[in-house]
Structure 1
Amino acid sequence: MRINRFRRFSKSKIYVGFWLISALSFIIYNEILSYYFRSSNWYNLKCLNRADCTKLLLVADPQIIGNNEEILHFLTPISIFDSDMYLKKTYFHAYNFVQPDIVIFLGDLMDEAHTATDQEFFQYVRRIFNIFLDHGSFLEHVRHIWLPGDNDIGGEDTLVTANKIKRFEGAFSQPDIISVKNITFLKINKLTRSIPVYKKDRSFFSTNQIFVGLSHVPLMYKPSTFVDKVINKMLPHLLFTAHEHKSMILSTDPLHHHEFHIVPVTPDNNQVFKYTLGETDMYEILIPTCSYRMGTTNIGFGYGIIERNELHFTVLWSPSRFHQLGSYLVLVSLFIVCSLFIKCWLCNKCTYC
């Protein structure tokens, strides 16, 4: 009798140990190793002369979760914690991989800022800083450029108001024209239809200074009279945009810009895209979302270097959080099914005996 009990106890320990080891293995892989494995497939862009080279890390549509609009509201604290941690981990790996000179945030930093009270807004801002600016000494050497999106100041589901613009600019105060080395960044706001005033005359084919337009809402991808005005007035060599939660590269003739050539960028066709700026075409690069909450598994950060007038660009794709959470669900389901099966088998065995 004691022997049978000992055997059952030993088998129970083995069973529990197996599932504990399985759960621990899943957690270690999903929460640590998967990020290193994914980053091992990233393309490392090389500068020929570091003094002439500017490294860019591009962050689009993090849309940190707000306090009020989750469908399963009681799960909001868990959703916020998981989403914020995912953003922090993926950004940490991208940041350390790139070692950027400039980090550009292309808007939609917060999901509910356009409907938030002032108190909620500044709570969201503190979370943004905690996720993206918690990198110690690196911050002293890195410029950050911040753009508002429709979820930050309105413009899509709600109206843009002076108060929303004022509080965003108060939290992320900087000019609309920013020059670093040989690059001039121009912050374009399609939501308010505003273009920074650059008074000096220039030619598109002059590349002593590279002009890079930054906009949350795509421009060439969605032609309009405003887009024509931007192109004709500003003649940017390059545009970085977001909003669509996917990545692609558009090119067009800078003088006529009636026809556009589109190259989709996905994990399956990712590569290093190389372009000479100011030679033939104008380029617009859409940056994918870095948040897994946007309904896509193609999540990542843009990575580019500009050296003189040469652009190299790639996407640093992140692991799919949906796949990670799905693996946890499968593991829990298997544990429940196996436990029920063993319990039923033991009950039938005892009844038979």
Structure 2
Amino acid sequence: MRFYRRFTKRQYMCLWFFLILFFVFYVEFYLYLSNTLSWLKPKCGNRNNCTNILLVADPQVLGERKEMFSFVTPFSIADSDFFLKKTYSWAYRFAEPDVVIFLGDLMDEGSIARDEEFFAYARRIYNVFMDSSPTAVKHIWLPGDNDVGGEEFDGITDQKMKRFHRAFPQPELIVHKNITFFKINRLILSIPVFKEKRDFYDTSKIFIGLSHLPLIFLPSPFVEKVFRKMLPQVLFTAHEHKSMIVITDALIRQDSQIIPVTPDNNKIYEYPLGSTDMYEFIIPTCSYRMGTDKIGYGFAVLEQNEIRYTVLWSPSRFTQLYYYSIFTCFNLLCVCFCYYCKSSKKRFSRT
């Protein structure tokens, strides 16, 4: 009889262990796998003629100062980094990019960090996004206001700009095949020097502007200067933490059409290049800590004179954490119930 009790207890513990494993597998693998089934892949007639671009906006890896309760900071940082790394790896494998563009706000507290903190954050960014990336893939890094200043009363300084470029060194103009990517820094009103004459309608050379802050969406004299000097056919921007496409006439630039992109209306958007229109793709944040559950990665394919764009939406981490809390409470109740039954049985046997 004693052997039977020990055996049934062992069975119970094994069942409990496998239930936990199954639950973790369901949350940390199956939910991500099933989420990819809703992703759309833009067509590519000839892979040699296509350039796949993965767009990462506002990851804002967490710092060590802003959490309301300091004792949860290590757990918040670990979970946020884990989620970013996992969603990025799924998006990366799906998109098979030739170019990956990080559109600023890489850090949450970069602009207020001391130098040692800043470079520690930079190492975490490389660990999250560059851990298994092939060297043949181009990576382009832009600063955002949370990286170098410009938000509220936090000013931009030369020292902040220099340490960002030290952590993420590269030129302002980057060429891939027939595409020229150029960086626009609206925070300091800066664009690269480019003296060649541009023909907007010539799609043998495609110009793509990259900016953390939106441009067509938020017009200004500086934006007009960018368009007049560089004549980009396409713009990739971020900062708004939501996804939309803004279209305007490249030469007149009086009115613009705004197309919101959400998980409910997600599709593949196809546009010709070198026509009368200029396109701005505003990329959603990929961090679940930004106050929105509509998070993901932009995915664009350029083939000859056409661009195709969609968003690879990520699953809700808060929903997953809710599942974890319910499962943990259930297990605690089971433990308490078993302990209560065992204590009651002991009291009953004494009487």
Q: Same fold (TM over 0.5)?
A: yes
Q: Is the 8 A contact 1:88 1:131 kept in 2?
A: yes
Q: Is the 8 A contact 2:56 2:298 kept in 1?
A: yes
Equivalent residue in structure 2 for 1:89, among 86, 90, 106: 86
CA distance in 1, matches of 2:8, 2:336: 16
Deviates more, 1:86-95 or 1:143-152: 86-95
Partner of 1:162: 158
Deviation at 1:12, TM superposition (A): 5.7
Please give the per-residue CA displacement for 1:34-74, whole angstroms capped at 9, x wherever unaligned. Answer: 22222232222232122221110111111111122221211
Partner of 1:104: 101
CA distance in 2, matches of 1:317, 1:125: 25
How many residues are matched? 348
Partner of 1:263: 259
Please give the per-residue CA displacement for 1:163-220, whole angstroms capped at 9, x wherever unaligned. Answer: 0000111111111111111111110011111112221222322222111110001111
Deviation at 1:336, TM superposition (A): 3.2
1:151 is paired with a residue whose SS is helix
Deviation at 1:120, TM superposition (A): 0.9
CA distance in 2, matches of 1:346, 1:153: 60
Partner of 2:307: 311
Partner of 2:316: 320
Which amino acid in structure 2 is aligned with residue 153 of structure 1?
V
1:94 is paired with a residue whose SS is helix
Q: Is the 8 A contact 1:182 1:308 kept in 2?
A: no
1:292 is paired with a residue whose SS is coil
2:289 is paired with a residue whose SS is helix
After superposition, the CA RMSD in angstroms is: 2.2
1:312 is paired with a residue whose SS is strand
Equivalent residue in structure 1 for 2:113, among 89, 101, 116: 116
Mapping for residues 29-178 of structure 1, pairs under 5 Å: 29-135=26-132, 138-139=134-135, 141-157=136-152, 158-178=154-174
CA distance in 1, matches of 2:57, 2:181: 16
Deviation at 1:345, TM superposition (A): 7.4
Q: Is the 8 A contact 2:251 2:276 kept in 1?
A: no
Question: Percentage identity across aligned positions?
Answer: 53
CA distance in 2, matches of 1:112, 1:318: 23
| Runs of 5+ consecutive residues of structure 2 not aligned to the other structure | none
1:293 is paired with a residue whose SS is coil
Equivalent residue in structure 1 for 2:241, among 241, 245, 270: 245
Partner of 1:293: 289
Equivalent residue in structure 2 for 1:28, among 25, 46, 50: 25
Q: Is the 8 A contact 2:242 2:282 kept in 1?
A: yes
Please give the per-residue CA displacement for 1:79-101, whole angstroms capped at 9, x wherever unaligned. Answer: 11111111111111111211111
CA distance in 2, matches of 1:13, 1:264: 55
Please give the per-residue CA displacement for 1:202-250, whole angstroms capped at 9, x wherever unaligned. Answer: 2322222111110001111122222222223322111100111111111
Q: Is the 8 A contact 2:148 2:164 kept in 1?
A: yes
CA distance in 1, matches of 2:4, 2:98: 64
Mapping for residues 174-185 of structure 1, pairs under 5 Å: 174-185=170-181
